[in-house]
Amino acid sequence: MANVAMLGTGFIGDFYTYSLHGKRNRDRVVAVWSRDEERGKAFARKHGIPKWTTSMEKAIGDSSVDLVVIALPNHLHKEAVLQSVRAGKGVLCTKPLGRNANEALIMLEAVEKAGVFHGYLEDLVYTPKTLKALDAVKNGAVGKVIWARSRETHPGPHSDWFWTKEISGGGVLLDMGCHCIEIARNYIGKDIRPVEVLCWADTLVKPIEAEDNALGYVRYENGAVGQFEVSWSFRGGMDLRDEVMGTEGTIWVNNFLRTGFEIFTAAGKQGYVAEKAESEKGWIFPVGDEVVELGYTDMFHDMFTAWEGNFSCRETFYDGYVVNEIMDACYRSAQSKKWEPVTLHSWRGKEKAEPILSLEEYDANYWLIKKETMPDGSKKLILKEKKSGTIVQKIV
């Protein structure tokens, strides 16, 4: 059983607390910190939390608290992590870990030097569908992963601070690109080094200083590519989709846009429908158990099990640091309009990854490129002659 100090009473703090208290869970939020006294009181009443405070130090230092969960605006992550480290408390931080790689590296070095437990709260790699898909990849169902594409788009975040670059550190690339980049890393292999990026980011719709749309490619050492598509100006709710292409198969995952649960209402009295839903009338698509479907339940299960067992969880501060370095390179690329290298001050994966490209021998004279069955039942082979390099086809 873990007793938790929840730092933050906003939208994500609600999701985290619902997840932690759900299904008669033995883990409990026992203290909550808010910068606003009335919000802190209301949050504590709503969730049955015994203690609330406007002192971050007091919440973290409470003797009953085992773990600190950071559900705060980006500019407060470093302060909250460093206070948790000074108090000797394990700390779980929402995404992105830092506003930039330098902040993330400071936090990573702090928790590792102090030897405190740490977890990176990247919920979208914990959705039930994603975990199932990752198991399929691990078991070889799609062969070697060549390309992983991740998309997250919606009309924009809930709170004002997201839209203020000085507080958030960036726009949609930082806010949602971090999800997509880490999803692709999981499919391609977190032990495969990201080497360079190409990114476009621009402000197309919103009157803000940061970007509201971004597209990017992350090339990995073995030749695989992670692609991300993010937008704060997409209309129609939240679109979360992933595609994985391997040498032996393909995976498509749709986590949210169409949920399999559909209601038509002319009354418009449904209330909250789903995160980033834009309408309460007409055809609406609620979510049966949102904290489960968005990965929060499995994420905290992994984190707390690892904490109790004294081993690393699936997503640590190191993962958050790597994602921040990739995003820093993306911002450089968006400015230069060129491929930019990913700088990693600490790399803990494979020193040299094997390339995806492999040669399959057909016989002593040919390499096999492709084989297929034709409409008449015959077999067509596309072959490459070893000596000359000539591409030929044979019907057998």
Nearest to 156 by CA among 275, 283, 10: 275
Which H, E and C letters describe 79-107, residue by residue? HHHHHHHHCCCEEEEECCCCCCHHHHHHH
Segment among 108-117, 202-211, 259-268 with least mean pLDDT: 259-268
Categorise residue 75: left if φ over 0, alpha if ψ from -120 to 50, beta otherwise: alpha
Interatomic CA distance for residues 367 and 354, integer angstroms? 20
Nearest to 242 by CA among 256, 232, 231: 256
Count Cα atoms within 13 angstroms, Cβ side, for 71. Answer: 24
Nearest to 341 by CA among 171, 222, 221: 221
The residue with tokens 């569908």 is 129
Burial class (CB in 10 A: 0-12, 13-18, 19+), 347: middle
Looking at the chain, which runs of residues are DSSP E strands?
A: 3-7, 28-33, 51-53, 67-70, 90-94, 118-121, 145-153, 194-202, 213-220, 225-231, 239-246, 250-254, 263-265, 282-284, 340-341, 360-361, 366-373, 379-385, 391-395
Q: Is the pLDDT of residue 292 over 70?
A: yes
Q: Can you give the pLDDT at residue 273?
A: 64
Q: What is the pLDDT of residues 72-99, one digit of tens each?
A: 999 999 999 999 999 999 999 999 999 9
Segment among 151-160, 185-194, 280-289, 292-301 with least mean pLDDT: 280-289
The residue with tokens 């055809």 is 283
Q: Can you give the pLDDT at residue 271?
A: 66
Single-letter code of the amino acid located at 16: Y
Helix 77-86 × helix 101-114 angle, to 10°: 10
Q: Can you give the pLDDT at residue 228?
A: 98
Q: What is the pLDDT of residues 354-392, one digit of tens each?
A: 999 878 899 999 999 999 999 999 999 999 999 999 999
Dihedral sign for Cα atoms in the order 41, 85, 162, 280:
negative
Q: Can you give the pLDDT at residue 199?
A: 98
Structure tokens at 98: 């830092």
Summarize the confidence of residues 212-229 as an average pLDDT. 98
Interatomic CA distance for residues 160 and 41, integer angstroms? 21
Buried b (16+ CB within 10 A) or exposed e, 220-234: bbbbbbbbbbbbbeb
At residue 319 the predicted structure's pLDDT band, cuts being 50, 70 and 90, is: very high
Q: What is the DSSP letter of 355?
A: P
Q: Is the pLDDT of residue 279 over 90?
A: no
Q: Give Cβ neighbours of residue 199 (< 8 Å, ≥ 6 apart).
A: 173, 214, 215, 216, 217, 329, 330, 331, 333, 334, 340
Q: Can you give the pLDDT at residue 272?
A: 67
- What is the pLDDT of the chain when averaged over all its residues? 94
Burial class (CB in 10 A: 0-12, 13-18, 19+), 99: buried
Q: Is the pLDDT of residue 274 over 80?
A: no
Q: Can you give the pLDDT at residue 266?
A: 82
Q: What is the DSSP letter of 174?
A: I
Tell me the three state secondary structure of residue 191: coil
The residue with tokens 């437990």 is 117
Q: Is the pLDDT of residue 269 over 80?
A: no
Q: Can you give the pLDDT at residue 16?
A: 97
Q: Can you give the pLDDT at residue 330?
A: 98
Q: Is the pLDDT of residue 275 over 80?
A: no
Interatomic CA distance for residues 154 and 276, integer angstroms? 7
Interatomic CA distance for residues 170 and 183, integer angstroms? 20
At residue 286 the predicted structure's pLDDT band, cuts being 50, 70 and 90, is: confident
Interatomic CA distance for residues 316 and 92, integer angstroms? 9
Show the domains of the chain with their CATH numbers: 3-121 (3.40.50.720), 125-341 (3.30.360.10), 360-395 (no CATH)
Q: Is the pLDDT of residue 339 over 90?
A: yes
Q: Note the pTM of the prediction, 2 decimals.
A: 0.93
Q: What is the pLDDT of residues 221-268, one digit of tens each?
A: 999 999 999 999 999 889 999 999 999 999 999 998 888 888 888 876
Q: Is the pLDDT of residue 282 over 80?
A: yes
At residue 276 the predicted structure's pLDDT band, cuts being 50, 70 and 90, is: low
Burial class (CB in 10 A: 0-12, 13-18, 19+), 283: exposed
The residue with tokens 């902040």 is 103
Percent of the chain with pLDDT over 70: 97
